[in-house]
Amino acid sequence: MTLLQERFNYTPLSRASVEGKRLYATPDGSKVPSVTTILDKTKPLEKRLALANWKKRVGEAKAQEIVTEAAGRGTRMHKWLEDYVKTGAIGTPGTNPNSQESHRMAEVVIAQGLCNVNEIWGVEVPLYYPGLYAGTTDGCGLHLNDEAIIDYKQSNKPKKQEWIEDYYLQLTAYALAHNKVHGTNLRKGVVLMCVKPKTEDDVPVYQEFILESKDFDHWEAQWWNRVEEYYSQN
């Protein structure tokens, strides 16, 4: 028995280049920015300064190395998790230490996070809000029997609640798009996150962040503010 239960027809989205901008081409004929582009272009000044200060502190070359390594680790972990969702098995890593590390992280997410997921309707789900934005979420489905957007994250260090505003905004954006196109009423989102182990002998740390239904209206307002800010500047 696999978690994958395909209940919706998710239309693939293609990329289009318009005046040098990389946009999504959606089925309604629109060419719209991604959720991550909107968040990046409307990033608050304090967060921009914090990122710039970090790069200055560690050096541009080291900063790029850290970002590239994290992206590779995230891609590998996502692949293991997608395999598990589709087949019910995670597979076996090779001898590559990087593969083994991401495999251990995926195992932790499965044991402590996906154990609470009843079913997943699709993996790498393309979503769009007609005329406004588009993006891809890791999954949609039932979390503790509640309809939810489900996203996997990896991190170099544990996160604090106050650091992850963008996670909640992403979840909200995808939920709104799913509701608009597929007629659902998703008001919940879950981030299943694993922190990389410090050494080969350490156990990866699992963290979970839940956008609860009672807080959805707040994050929806924040998201639409960011969308409005993006379009006022672009």
Do 38 and 123 touch, CB atoms closer than 8 A?
A: no
Nearby residues of 42 by Cβ (< 8 Å), 6 or more positions away: 226, 229, 230, 233
Position 147, amino acid:
E
CA distance 120 to 192: 14
Do 4 and 86 touch, CB atoms closer than 8 A?
A: yes
Domain assignment present for residue 201? The answer is: yes
Domain assignment present for residue 1? The answer is: no
Domain assignment present for residue 140? The answer is: yes
Predicted structure pTM score: 0.91
Do 104 and 146 touch, CB atoms closer than 8 A?
A: no
pLDDT tens per residue across span 48-93: 776 777 677 778 777 677 667 777 787 889 999 999 999 999 988 8
CA distance 12 to 26: 9
pLDDT tens per residue across span 10-57: 999 998 777 767 899 999 889 999 999 999 999 987 777 767 776 777
Do 138 and 113 touch, CB atoms closer than 8 A?
A: no
Do 24 and 32 touch, CB atoms closer than 8 A?
A: yes
Encoded tokens for 229: 């800010």
Domain assignment present for residue 88? The answer is: yes
pLDDT tens per residue across span 99-123: 888 999 999 999 999 999 999 999 9
pLDDT tens per residue across span 143-192: 999 999 999 999 989 998 888 999 999 999 999 999 999 999 999 999 99
Domain assignment present for residue 136? The answer is: yes
- Say what angle helices 60-87 and 45-58 make with each other, to 10 degrees: 110
Residue span of the structural domain in which 30 resides: 14-233
Encoded tokens for 154: 């990896």
Domain assignment present for residue 3? The answer is: no
Choose between 197 and 119: higher pLDDT.
119
Name the 3-class secondary structure at 223: helix
Listing DSSP states for 162-187 in one string gives GG-HHHHHHHHHHHHHHHHHH-----
Domain assignment present for residue 182? The answer is: yes
What is the number of structural domains in the chain?
1
Domain assignment present for residue 187? The answer is: yes
Query: For the domain that residue 181 is a member of, what is the CATH number?
Result: 3.90.320
